Structure 1
Amino acid sequence: MIIDAHQHFWDPARADYPWMAADELTPIRRAFGPADLAPLLKANGVDASILVQCRSALEETDEFLRIAHENPFVVGVVGWADLTDGALGETLDRLRASPGGGKLVGIRHQVHDEADPDWLLREDVQRGLTAVFARDLAYDFLVRARELPSAIASAQAFPQARFVLDHTAKPPIADGGSEVWADRIAALGACDNVWCKISGLATEAVWNDWDAERLFPFVAHAARCFGEDRLIFGSDWPVCLLAGSYGKIKNALEACLAKLGPQLRAKAFGVNATRAYRLAIAS
């Protein structure tokens, strides 16, 4: 089974997405839903997807679980819930009992938008993570290099928990890379309870001037840090459309992974996501 472990749905006419305000994001400032993605998955040989949160609102998590309930190809939801809420455990229990709640596999927050680079280490946030892991859910890190030290400390604080790093911590590909990013990714990869999504890389490059060869050094470094059992493919659709079509993104990442070996490629396109999120499907 081929799994796209990172995609989104949204409708700016119905909800507010503060991160979408920049002029350069105009091409994706429209509604995207299951009917838009399903034919792209079929055309590109992808069997299933994991739907990931876009805004800090429980209403979105509820909606995503309903979508997953109604669309079998959505095999998991990484939703949002307030980690600082003292009643988070009750909220998670309610979500899991709702239609589609069995597909709630993880929680995420836009940590890289917080002013405090150590937001993850706040006492109330760490308490919230405890509630997440008590329900056998994963936590997705949405961080850049600035927040990686707090991600590393969190992974070390919860050695039995499962963490997934989104977008390989958004390396500055357009600027040629960063030793700080590379070193901190290596330190996070040393935590064997963290998986890494090879997603969102094309939009960190120059949007109209990139190819698989330019992405490869960053994919290869992530592979060295996380190994073949903890690397995961994700399209980051429809954000990826800023840099290329769904097919172009998938083909480029497939080419990068194939250069690293057929076994690594096969695991990154399915079994690793199944294990990281404990998906209730045949692996």
Structure 2
Amino acid sequence: MKIDAHHHFWIYNETEYGWINDDMSKLKQDFLPEDLNVLLKTIHFDGTVAVQARQSLEETSWLLELAQKHDFIKGVVGWVDLCSPNISEQLKQFAENPYFKGVRHIIHDEPDERFMLREDFQRGISMLHDFGLTYDLLLFPKHLPYARQLVETFPNQPFVLDHIGKPDIKNEVLSPWQEDITKLSDYKNVYVKVSGMVTEADWKNWRKADFKAYLDIVFEAFGPERIMIGSDWPVCTVSGHYESVLEIVLDYVKQYAPESEHRILGENCARFYSIKE
């Protein structure tokens, strides 16, 4: 089973999607399951994981409703208020739904760089394992040292780093991202999504070669056993078509044996998010 491990849906409105600026004007429209399903068929993928784009309980409920209606949505990474005193009630409510696989918080928008180390946030993280839930790390490179402290504190909690930590690909910056992501990979409870790279590159002028150094570093650090492919659709469309974005990774993994390819293109995602065929 081939799985796109990272994408979003939304019904656009300016209030809830204020981060979509004029440079991203093509995102100022609705993106729904019917739109993505057509694209999946063109690349012969079998399923997806839908990830939250709004920080609200309503968003999580809506994504779970979509998953129940569309067979290709194999799981949902939703949002809950991990800092809330009643976080256990929120988790219990959603965990009853078999499509609820994990949680994400938009860490890189928090004013406090050390947000992950807050006591109330870590209390919420501590409860995920009991519900069999994963956690998606959405970070900038400057947050990677704090992420390392977080994953070390919770060695039994599965984490996945979204978008390879969003390095500055456009300006060919490797350090200290390279050193920090390599250190993060030492923790075996951490996976990584090779996704979201085109929006960190030169939107209008990137080439596949621009990503090679970054992919080399990630694959050397994590190995084929802890890497999963993702599109970050529809955000990726500001810089490329769905097929061309995924082809960056699809072409790169051809150097690996078939069993490793299968892991990267679906098996790792299915294992991490407990997805059954």
- The two structures have a TM-score, normalised by structure 1, of 0.95
Q: Deviations over 1:46-87 (max 9, x none)?
A: 100000000111100000000001111000000001110011
Counterpart of 1:34, as a letter, is P
Residue number in structure 2 paired with 1:120: 116
- Does the CA contact (< 8 Å) of 1:215 and 1:256 recur in 2? no
Counterpart of 1:39, as a letter, is V
Between stretches 127-136 and 10-19, larger displacement belongs to: 10-19
1:86-165, aligned counterparts within 5 Å? 86-97=85-96, 101-165=97-161
1:18 and 2:24 aligned? no
CA distance in 1: counterparts of 2:13 and 2:107, whole angstroms: 25
CA distance in 2: counterparts of 1:144 and 1:129, whole angstroms: 19
Residue number in structure 2 paired with 1:49: 48
Q: Against the structure 1 CA distance between its residues 212 and 266, is the aligned structure 2 distance closer, same or farther, given a 3 Å change threshold?
A: farther
Residue number in structure 1 paired with 2:27: 28
Counterpart of 2:43, as a letter, is N
1:194-233, aligned counterparts within 5 Å? 194-233=190-229
- Does the CA contact (< 8 Å) of 1:50 and 1:77 recur in 2? yes
Aligned-residue offset at 1:160: 0.9
Between stretches 210-219 and 121-130, larger displacement belongs to: 210-219
Unaligned runs of 5+ in 2: none
CA distance in 2: counterparts of 1:13 and 1:160, whole angstroms: 39
Unaligned runs of 5+ in 1: none
Q: Deviations over 1:23-55 (max 9, x none)?
A: 111111110000100110011111000000001
Counterpart of 2:25, as a letter, is T
SS in structure 2 of the partner of residue 127 of structure 1: helix
Q: Deviations over 1:89-136 (max 9, x none)?
A: 111111123xxx211110001101111111011000000001122211
- Does the CA contact (< 8 Å) of 2:128 and 2:157 recur in 1? no
Q: Against the structure 1 CA distance between its residues 233 and 84, is the aligned structure 2 distance closer, same or farther, given a 3 Å change threshold?
A: same
- Does the CA contact (< 8 Å) of 1:220 and 1:260 recur in 2? no
How many residues of Structure 1 are paired with residues of Structure 2 in the alignment? 277
CA distance in 1: counterparts of 2:174 and 2:212, whole angstroms: 15
- The two structures have a TM-score, normalised by structure 2, of 0.97
CA distance in 1: counterparts of 2:165 and 2:115, whole angstroms: 16
Q: Against the structure 1 CA distance between its residues 15 and 57, is the aligned structure 2 distance closer, same or farther, given a 3 Å change threshold?
A: farther
| Pick aligned residue for 2:163 from 158, 161, 167 | 167
Aligned-residue offset at 1:146: 1.0
CA distance in 2: counterparts of 1:78 and 1:17, whole angstroms: 18
CA distance in 1: counterparts of 2:243 and 2:215, whole angstroms: 18
Superposed CA RMSD: 1.2
- Does the CA contact (< 8 Å) of 1:219 and 1:257 recur in 2? no
1:59 and 2:55 aligned? no
CA distance in 1: counterparts of 2:151 and 2:212, whole angstroms: 26
CA distance in 1: counterparts of 2:173 and 2:254, whole angstroms: 22
Aligned-residue offset at 1:18: 2.9
Counterpart of 1:46, as a letter, is F
Aligned-residue offset at 1:203: 1.1
